[in-house]
Structure 1
Amino acid sequence: MCLVWGLTWLPVKVGATHVPPVFLAAARFTVAGLLMLLWAGRDLPKVPRGAWPRLIGTALLLNTGNYTLLFWGTAQAPSGLAAIVNFATIPIYTLLASRVFEGERIDGRKLAAIALGTVGLGFLFATRALGGLSAAQGNPLEALGLAAVAAGTLLYCVGAVLARPIAGAMPTLTLAGWQTLIGGLGLTAVSLAIEPVGYDDLAKLVQWPVLPAVAFLVIGGSLMGFTIYMRLLRDWGAFRAGLYAFVSPAIAVAVGVMALDEPFGWSEATGALLMFGAAAIALRKPSAKPAMA
Structure 2
Amino acid sequence: MLLHSGQMTPVIRAFPALAFVLLCLSWGSTFLALKVGLQVLPPLLLMGLRFVLAGGVLLFWLWSKKQLRILKAWRQILPLACMMVVGSYGLMAWGARFISSGMAAVVSTVPISLGTLLFGVLLKQENPSFRKGLGVGLGCVGLLLLFSPAGLPAQQQGAAFLMCLGSLGYAWGSVQGRKVVQQFSVLEVSALQMLLGGLLLLVLSCVVESWQQVRWEALMHPDVAGSLLYLVSVGSLMGFVLHQLLLQVWAASRVASYTFITPLIAVLLGNLLAGETLNAGQILAGALMVLGARVSLQPDPAQKTVHQQT
TM-score, normalization by structure 2: 0.81
When residues 232 and 58 of structure 1 are mapped into structure 2, their CA distance, relative to the original with a 3 A threshold, is closer
The residue aligned with 1:95 is 117
Matched letter for residue 199 of structure 2? L
Residues 166 and 257 of structure 1, relative CA distance in 2, 3 Å threshold: same
3-state DSSP class of the match of 2:210?
A: coil
Where does structure 2 lack aligned partners over 5 or more consecutive residues?
Answer: 1-21, 306-310
Moved more, 173-182 or 93-102: 93-102
Deviation, 1:109, is 2.0
Show the counterpart of 2:283: 269
Amino acid of the residue matched to residue 237 of structure 2? L
Alpha-carbon distance, 1:68 to partner:
1.2
Show the counterpart of 2:301: 287
Give distance in 2, aligned partners of 1:159 and 1:236: 16
- The C-alpha deviation readout for 1:256-276, integer Å capped at 9, x for no partner, is 223333230211111122111
In the TM superposition, 1:124-273 aligns within 5 A as 124-126=146-148, 129=149, 134=153, 141-198=155-212, 200-230=214-244, 241-273=255-287
1:137 is matched with none
- Aligned residue number for residue 81 of structure 1: 103
1:5 aligns with 2:19: no
After the TM superposition, which of the residue ranges 198-207 and 1-10 deviates more from structure 2? Answer: 198-207
**Does the alignment pair 1:28 with 2:42?**
no
CA contact (8 A) 2:81 2:194 kept: yes
Q: Deviations over 1:225-245 (max 9, x none)?
A: 234445555677767654433
Change (3 A) 1:102 1:39: farther
Q: Secondary structure at the match of 1:36?
A: helix
8 Å contact 1:43–1:174 — kept in the other structure? no
| Aligned residue identity for 2:27 | W
For structure 1, which runs of at least 5 residues remain unmatched after alignment?
Answer: 135-139
Contact 2:91 2:162 in 1 (8 A): yes
Q: Which letter maps to 1:68?
A: G
Moved more, 270-279 or 280-289: 280-289
Q: 1:92, CA displacement in angstroms?
A: 0.7
Q: Would the alpha carbon gap of residues 165 and 247 (structure 1) be closer, same or farther in structure 2, given more than 3 Å must change?
A: closer
CA-atom RMSD, angstroms? 2.5
The question of whether the paired residues in 2 share the 8 Å contact of 1:101 and 1:162 is answered with: no
- 2:120–2:253: 8 Å Cα contact kept in structure 1? no
Rounded Cα–Cα distance in structure 2 between residues aligned with 1:149 and 1:221: 18
SS in 2 for 1:175: helix
Q: Which amino acid aligns with 2:165?
A: A
Aligned AA (2:201):
L
Question: 2: CA distance between counterparts of 1:169 and 1:228?
Answer: 17
Q: What is the number of equivalent residue pairs in this alignment?
A: 281
Report the CA distance between 1:180 and its aligned residue: 0.3
C-alpha separation between the residues in 2 aligned to 1:46 and 1:25? 26
Q: Partners in 2 of 1:253 and 1:278 — Cα distance?
A: 18
Write the letter of the residue equivalent to 2:174: A
Cα pair distance change 1:237/1:190, threshold 3 Å: same
Is structure 2 residue 92 aligned with structure 1 residue 70?
yes
